[in-house]
Amino acid sequence: MSERVEIFDTTLRDGEQSPGASLTSEQKVIIARQLDVLGVDIIEAGFPVSSQEDFRSVRAVAESVKRATVCGLARALEKDITAAGKALKRASRKRIHTFIATSPVHMKYKLRMSREEVLANAVRAVKLAGKYCGEVEFSCEDASRSERKFLVKIIEEVIKAGAKIINIPDTVGYSYPSEMEDLVRFLIENVRGSEKVIFSVHCHNDLGLATANSISSVLAGARQVECTINGIGERAGNAAMEEIVMALKVRFPQFKTGINTKQIFRTSRLVSNLTGVFVQQNKAIVGKNAFAHESGIHQDGVIKKAQTYEIIKPQDVGISGSTLVLGKHSGRAALLKRARDLGFKLSQRQLNKVFAEFKRLADKKKNVYDDDIVALLEKDFGGRSSGYELESFEVVTGKLNPIALVKLKKAGKIFTGTATGDGPVDSALKAIDSISGKSGKLLDYFVNAITKGKDAQGEVRLTVQFNGEKVSGISSSTDIIEASILAYISALNKVVGAGRKKK
């Protein structure tokens, strides 16, 4: 049995069904191209018959993606399958995914069909789909709540009709891991012709078990897993692609996928930005806190040996490194490391003194930022060197490229810079570069509302690279442009030597 597990990504179909996550055709193409770079095997691009927009989206993805198989979803209805066939016509590699419900509750109340009618419709749908493409997938909707004897019968018949992939969905997230493992193993062992097809699973997360159920199914013999980026989807969502891939890589390395894991974080951010569905901070693998440590015990361990508290290297999923969050739970080790990163060399006496002051500050603030640390350290280093301070700024926007005029003060002198850019923030930062003579490359840029209302304060966090040196800056203001400028100046001052002495 092959140890290769195919990744079937349904972000553009099931993921888009998340409330408020509607995507345009252009956005779907952008995500599909990134999924192709990521290395997914199958991209389920949409449900062509559901709307003209969805039909156009599937067609556009089919024409844009060259490596991965592009798939369209269709109920076991002629009009659905015909629409999917037409939408996928120009795909380099294509698949029609047809389905019908097989559980007693669905057949009786939703379909209002007998078992015989469901079976006949399933076989007819698979045969029709086979006329449009050679790769047909059949799903037994609500399989985890279906009677096993009927599952065996309908799967055997659709295999005879030409289905190449058999999907076993846990449609409502009802199963638990050992149950899914037993079901998949039972079907592989009892369905005649099972050796001719690939068994797949599609697990929902209503009980928070989607990833565990998917992994258990792989252990039972499933060789395709259906999932979404960030786990988005109906209700509580789907099994998260990043969790499945990394769980297999860390715990079951005998199973291989084609995923370039270093593209995971980038893909996660892209999907979040385009769908507007934010990733929870403690989300596994791609959440903001996935590689962040605030506890002093954890920080000390990670500094000494990352594997003490990290089972995955952040770089393996495309994140630059771990984050040591300085707060009331942090210890001396984290403070010493941050001080060194800022360019300070502390004696044990200085560390003890600064740490006591740091703790007092941390009790008052949720997070202690770099500027706070610098202010504490300056007490032992004889005051602040003359870094840049914002005097004023003005940005003019319109149909033409924005123009920014920025005035900075340094050592009592005023310096003026002007520049144009792609937007008001870009032009303002370029104006600062013209003053400092240092060209900064913006690596990361985050904006977060830290208060509510129309006059909410916006917090800007950024990472800039100046001549190969990465530095960060953070600031807040009710004006995002001003917050961006102040954060950039904060980063710049770390390079020009404001408030610090080099080791």
Pick 502 or 379 by higher pLDDT: 379
Cα 112 to Cα 105, 109, 140, 145, 146: the distances in Å are 9, 6, 16, 17, 15
What's residue 345's pLDDT?
A: 78
What's residue 455's pLDDT?
A: 54
Per-residue pLDDT at 58 exceeds 80: yes
Mean pLDDT of 451-458: 59
Pick 291 or 259 by higher pLDDT: 259
pLDDT digits (tens, 9 = 90+) for 381-438: 544 445 898 999 999 987 678 999 999 999 889 999 999 998 999 999 999 999 999 9
Nearest residue to 319 via CA among 286, 280, 341, 284 = 286
Nearest residue to 13 via CA among 65, 61, 83 = 61
Confidence of residue 498 (pLDDT cuts 50, 70, 90): very low
Distance CA 349, CA 490 (A): 27
Confidence of residue 499 (pLDDT cuts 50, 70, 90): very low
- Are 468 and 438 spatial neighbours (Cβ–Cβ below 8 Å)? no
Distance CA 477, CA 111 (A): 56
| CATH fold of 6-275 | TIM Barrel (3.20.20)
- Are 71 and 45 spatial neighbours (Cβ–Cβ below 8 Å)? yes
Nearest residue to 136 via CA among 168, 181, 97, 103 = 97
- Here the tokens at position 222 are 């499933």
Mean pLDDT of 2-9: 92
What's residue 376's pLDDT?
A: 72
Per-residue pLDDT at 127 exceeds 90: yes
| Signed CA dihedral, 330, 333, 339, 341: sign only | negative
What's residue 217's pLDDT?
A: 98
Mean pLDDT of 43-52: 96
Delimit the domains of the chain by residue range: 6-275, 292-378, 389-496
Nearest residue to 297 via CA among 317, 320, 324 = 324
Distance CA 502, CA 385 (A): 12
Confidence of residue 227 (pLDDT cuts 50, 70, 90): very high
What's residue 53's pLDDT?
A: 92
**Where would I find the H helices in 162-262?**
177-190, 210-220, 241-251
Please give the torsion angle defined by the CA atoms of residues 332, 336, 337 and 342, in that order, rounded to the nearest 10 degrees.
Answer: 140
Confidence of residue 81 (pLDDT cuts 50, 70, 90): very high
Distance CA 156, CA 153 (A): 5
What's residue 302's pLDDT?
A: 79
Distance CA 332, CA 310 (A): 20
What's residue 458's pLDDT?
A: 75
| Phi, psi angles (nearest 5°) of residue 102 | -125, -5
Mean pLDDT of 461-473: 85
What's residue 451's pLDDT?
A: 52
Distance CA 185, CA 201 (A): 12
The three-class DSSP label of residue 351 is helix
pLDDT digits (tens, 9 = 90+) for 134-171: 999 999 999 999 999 999 999 999 999 999 999 999 99
Q: What is the mean pLDDT of the chain?
A: 90
The position carrying tokens 């629409």 is: 83
End-to-end Cα distance, the chain: 58
What's residue 385's pLDDT?
A: 47
Distance CA 369, CA 376 (A): 11
To which H or E segment does residue 495 belong? helix 480-496
pLDDT digits (tens, 9 = 90+) for 305-357: 888 888 899 899 998 788 777 888 888 888 888 888 776 778 888 888 888 88
pLDDT exceeding 70 applies to what percent of the chain?
Answer: 93
Mean pLDDT of 23-43: 95
What's residue 151's pLDDT?
A: 98
Confidence of residue 457 (pLDDT cuts 50, 70, 90): low
Strands (E), 386-457: 389-396, 403-410, 413-420, 440-449
What's residue 338's pLDDT?
A: 80
Distance CA 273, CA 214 (A): 26
- Choices 3.90.330.10, 3.30.160.270, 3.40.50.720, 3.40.109.10: CATH for 389-496: 3.30.160.270
Could you give the count of Cα atoms lying within 13 Å of 365 in the half-sphere of its Cβ?
15
Cα 241 to Cα 35, 268, 269, 440, 441: the distances in Å are 11, 10, 14, 35, 31
**pTM of the prediction?**
0.73
What's residue 334's pLDDT?
A: 86
